Amino acid sequence: MLLNNYETIYILKPDVTDSVNLSLVNYYKSLLKEKGAINIVVQHRGRRHLSYNILHYYDGIYVQMNYQASGELVQSLEKSMRFNDSIIRYLTTRQDAIQSINIY
């Protein structure tokens, strides 16, 4: 099976507690693992001011996940995020493999 490199960034509501934040991170990490994703790296980007108002929120808590997975897994991950009330935005992008360039 072909696995692509993906990066998913999601924004939590600013009033989400640390325990809810941690449980969401663990939930999505375990969801990725059980569906076959590998090399999962989660980074907390912290609270940041939003460029524009989203659902009457002016800032949010950013979480970034990098992983290797299939396209079907990304669809189920995004579907799960779509129905989560604590998440106000999410975006998944496919990262192309970085090729090394030798310059002499």
Cα-Cα end-to-end distance for the chain: 37
Domain ranges (residues) in the chain: 4-95
Per-residue pLDDT band for 100 (boundaries 50, 70, 90) equals very low
CATH assignment of 4-95, given 3.30.420.40, 3.40.50.300, 2.60.40.10, 3.30.70.60? 3.30.70.60
Question: Tens of pLDDT along 44-76?
Answer: 999 999 999 988 999 999 999 999 998 899 999
Beta strands of the chain (E only): which ranges?
Answer: 4-12, 38-54, 57-69, 87-95
Phi, psi dihedral angles at 65 (to 5 degrees)? -125, 130
**Letter string b/e over residues 59-72, b meaning 16 or more CB atoms within 10 A of that residue's CB:** ebbbbebebbbbee
Say yes or no to pLDDT of 18 above 80.
Answer: yes
Q: Given a cut of 60, is residue 85 above it in pLDDT?
A: yes
Give the orientation angle of helix 18-34 with respect to helix 71-82, to 10 degrees: 150
